[in-house]
Amino acid sequence: MQGQLSRAGYTIHFESSGVGPRLIWVDPALGSSSMRPMQEALAGLAERFEVVTYDRRGRGRNESADIVSATAEVDDLLALVEHVGGTALIAGFSSGAGLVLHAAGQLPAATVVLVEPAVGGTPDESGLRESVQRRVADGDLEGAVREFYEATGTPEEIIQGLSDSPVWGDVVRCAPTLIADIDLTFVDDDVLAAVQKPVHVIVSDGSPPEITGMGTELAARVHAPVWREPGGWHGVDASALCARLVALD
């Protein structure tokens, strides 16, 4: 089932599939219905859950947007949860975990699942945000996307495979949304203190320490269990993720 949510004249597209407890999935930076890294896992989850996915602002089926703010992203997610009638679980992948955490303090009771969370307790000081913002302002959207992927350690073969694929144009179109994702990766103690609901962290045994380390550090800060599952680089095996979420429900 496909649906739309109007937010002050801007339309957010979402869809749901499957029957069972509701699970809202929040994509990572540049992820959308056009390019969803964990799509295989979501298809499996729809056998046990009602899985709700949506195109974050400026992505996928939504209209392009100028620089997207973290506040707008949080408000969009809160509005979606209310629109669909709440949720049993809300899961964020990579920088999508940052968005979930920023919204979680205002959400109705739900279990929070953070898959390979790309978040930290200090603001980004690498200069990436400023560089991406300059590229976007100059119209170099592809350069902004490539710089983001390279700065975040994405293997070259993954970048090349994506740039050779039919979805590359839509990914590049989403470059202005990267500013919000970079901002959302900063999760301070006040944000975490507001998350008064169960939190679970899931990491892949195929990811390097610089990725899994963010997850274990975050788990320690929120006193959450860490579930290490089979998977590849920055991605959890579909069947393993499904089994873990079923066990958490």
Q: Domain limits of the chain? A: 2-121+185-248
Query: Which pLDDT belongs to residue 66?
Result: 82
pLDDT in tens, 44-66: 899 999 999 999 999 999 998 88
pLDDT at position 222 is 94
pLDDT confidence band for 124 (50 / 70 / 90) = confident
Strand-strand pairing, 235-236 and 231-232 = antiparallel
- For 152-175, what is each residue's pLDDT tens digit? 999 999 999 999 999 999 999 999
For the whole prediction, is pTM greater than 0.75? Answer: yes
The yes-or-no verdict on residue 249 having pLDDT over 80 is: no
Q: Which CATH number fits domain 2-121+185-248: 3.40.50.1820, 3.40.50.2000, 3.40.109.10, 3.40.50.300?
A: 3.40.50.1820
Please name the residue that has the structure tokens 């008064």: 196
